[in-house]
Amino acid sequence: MINLQKLKNGFEYLDISNKSAHAKIALQGAHIFHYAPHNSNPLLWLSQASDFELGKAIRGGVPICWPWFGMSENPELPQHGFARTSMWQLSASSEIDAHTTELTLTLKHSKSSLKLWPYRFELSLHVRVSDTLTMELKTTNLDEKPFKITQALHSYFQISDISHVHIEGLGKSSYFDALTQEQYQQNGDIEFYQEVDRIYQGIKHEIRLVDIKRQIVIKNEGSSSAVVWNPWIEKCARMSAMNNDAYRTMVCIESANALEDAKAIAPLQSHTLKAYIEVTNL
């Protein structure tokens, strides 16, 4: 079942339920802010202090960073681009079977987007809600000139506690550390003892977020970079829409095209970034 829900302030989202899962997707940003297969607690973390306000990104779920990841060359432009605060359209929906619902949300260039980024485009997010969650973010260049994008499906995952989790699958990758602005080599699993803000590169394998009772597996296509982020104590206290202890129950593993994994897209050509997320109970 797909229901359009509206909060008192006018904020609209789609409530999707089937025999395998429950999900919620805001029309602003095509932002998935809840996903729970019926055999598991929610996979996505959502800040208890999150604002559901028009023009402000939700803190949690899967913000879409596009057409740039992080800061643009022009520091006056919004961090992580404008897609996450733009209003998208539901362009298709289908209940494939009792266990599977598919939806497509679309964003096109507009007068306001052209002021921020001077290209005509179509961006679509195809979502498959079942016992797994699949997101396909397709960028089509509708302009006469080529353009280049960096982007991320900025997934916030719900965890039992930051001291109980580790990340497998990035053990042989190099990463750019956004805190020191230097390049390092990862050796072994990632554990968290401090702020982590890294762009892993040259990724060829699936990524596993291992918690006490469950493991979340992330498989990406059309991407060879992933961001791993936890703000830790001080940055968390400074962050908007985040309680002081929120860093303990979240970690971001973002399916990305960042740094040298940026994508140049020629006129009338497309690029698709795909993330496939599943949970297994341990």
Taking the CB of residue 67, how many other CB atoms lie within 10 A of it? 23
Least distance (Å) from ligand BG6 to the CB of residue 123? Answer: 18
Specify whether the CB–CB gap between 117 and 80 falls below 8 A: no
User: Torsions phi, psi of 132, nearest 5?
Assistant: -125, 160
Taking the C-alpha atoms of residue 125 and residue 104, their distance in angstroms, rounded to an integer, is 6
Specify whether the CB–CB gap between 193 and 76 falls below 8 A: no
Looking at the Cβ atoms of 25 and 103, the one nearer to ligand BG6 is 25
Looking at the Cβ atoms of 45 and 229, the one nearer to ligand BG6 is 229
Least distance (Å) from ligand BG6 to the CB of residue 70? Answer: 6
* Nearest alpha-carbon partner for 276 in 115, 127, 79, 150: 127
Length of the chain: 282
Taking the C-alpha atoms of residue 132 and residue 258, their distance in angstroms, rounded to an integer, is 25
Specify whether the CB–CB gap between 41 and 91 falls below 8 A: no
Looking at the Cβ atoms of 77 and 87, the one nearer to ligand BG6 is 77
Least distance (Å) from ligand BG6 to the CB of residue 258? Answer: 9
Give start and end residues of each alpha helix (H) in 14-96. Answer: none
Taking the C-alpha atoms of residue 29 and residue 53, their distance in angstroms, rounded to an integer, is 12
With CB atoms as reference, the residue minimizing the distance to ligand BG6 is 79
Residue 282's alpha-carbon distances to 164, 194, 214, in angstroms, are 14, 26, 5
* Nearest alpha-carbon partner for 203 in 171, 235, 250, 236: 171
Taking the C-alpha atoms of residue 50 and residue 107, their distance in angstroms, rounded to an integer, is 23
Q: Pick the catalytic residue from 154, 164, 195, 234.
A: 154
Least distance (Å) from ligand BG6 to the CB of residue 81? Answer: 10
Looking at the Cβ atoms of 16 and 216, the one nearer to ligand BG6 is 216
Specify whether the CB–CB gap between 216 and 209 falls below 8 A: yes
Least distance (Å) from ligand BG6 to the CB of residue 178? Answer: 6
Write out the residues near ligand BG6 by the rule CB under 6 A: 57, 79-80, 154, 178, 197, 227, 229, 254
Q: Is 254 a catalytic residue?
A: yes
Least distance (Å) from ligand BG6 to the CB of residue 266? Answer: 27
Strands across the sheet containing 89-97: 89-97, 100-108, 121-129, 133-141, 270-281, 214-221, 207-210, 166-168
- Residues annotated as catalytic are 154, 254
